[in-house]
Structure 1
Amino acid sequence: MTLPTLLDIEASGFGRGSYPIEVGLARPDGSICAFLVQPLEEWTHWDPKAELLHGISRDRLVREGFPVRQVARWLNDELGEIGIAYSDSWGYDNTWLSLLFHHAGMLPSFRLEALRKLLSEDQQALWSTIKEAMILERGIHRHRAGDDARLLQLTFQRTRELTRAN
Structure 2
Amino acid sequence: MPETLPTVLDIEASGFGRGSYPIEVGIARADGSCCAFLIQPLEEWTHWDPKAELLHGISRDRLQREGYPVRQVALWINDELSSVGKAYSDSWGYDNTWLSLLFHHAGIIPGFRLEALRILLNEAQLGLWSDTKEAIIGEQGIHRHRASEDARLLQLTFARTRALTNPHAS
Q: Report if TM-score (shorter chain) is over 0.5.
A: yes
Q: Where has structure 1 moved over 4 Å in runs of 4 or more? A: none
Q: Which residue of structure 2 aligns with residue 122 of structure 1?
A: 124
Give the alignment partner of residue 82 of structure 1, picking from 59, 81, 84. Answer: 84
CA distance in 1, matches of 2:78, 2:72: 10
Query: Which letter maps to 1:22?
Result: E
Is 1:36 aligned to residue 45 of structure 2?
Answer: no
TM-score, scaled to structure 2: 0.97
Q: Tell me the number of residue pairs that the alignment of Structure 1 and Structure 2 aligns.
A: 166
Query: Which letter maps to 1:98?
Result: S
Query: Which letter maps to 2:108?
Result: M
Query: Which letter maps to 2:123?
Result: E
Alignment of 1:54-65 (within 5 A): 54-65=56-67
Query: Which letter maps to 2:155?
Result: Q
Partner of 1:14, secondary structure, is coil
Q: Percent identity?
A: 80
Q: Which residue of structure 1 aligns with residue 50 of structure 2?
A: 48
Q: Which residue of structure 1 aligns with residue 160 of structure 2?
A: 158
Partner of 2:166, secondary structure, is helix
Is 1:147 aligned to residue 149 of structure 2?
Answer: yes
Deviations 1:26-49 (A, max 9, x none): 000000000000000000000000
Partner of 1:112, secondary structure, is strand
Partner of 1:165, secondary structure, is coil
CA distance in 2, matches of 1:146, 1:48: 21
Q: Which residue of structure 2 aligns with residue 25 of structure 1?
A: 27
CA RMSD of aligned residues (A): 0.8
Q: 1:116: Cα distance to partner?
A: 0.2
CA distance in 2, matches of 1:110, 1:125: 29
CA distance in 1, matches of 2:47, 2:111: 28
Q: 1:4: Cα distance to partner?
A: 0.3
TM-score, scaled to structure 1: 0.99
Query: Which letter maps to 2:109?
Result: L
Gap runs ≥5 in structure 1: none
Give the alignment partner of residue 8 of structure 1, picking from 10, 17, 26. Answer: 10
Query: Which letter maps to 2:95?
Result: D
CA distance in 2, matches of 1:88, 1:134: 16
Partner of 1:35, secondary structure, is strand
Q: 1:8: Cα distance to partner?
A: 0.1
Query: Which letter maps to 1:134?
Result: I
Deviations 1:113-150 (A, max 9, x none): 00000000000000000000000011000000000000
CA distance in 1, matches of 2:110, 2:9: 13
Q: 1:165: Cα distance to partner?
A: 2.9
Gap runs ≥5 in structure 2: none
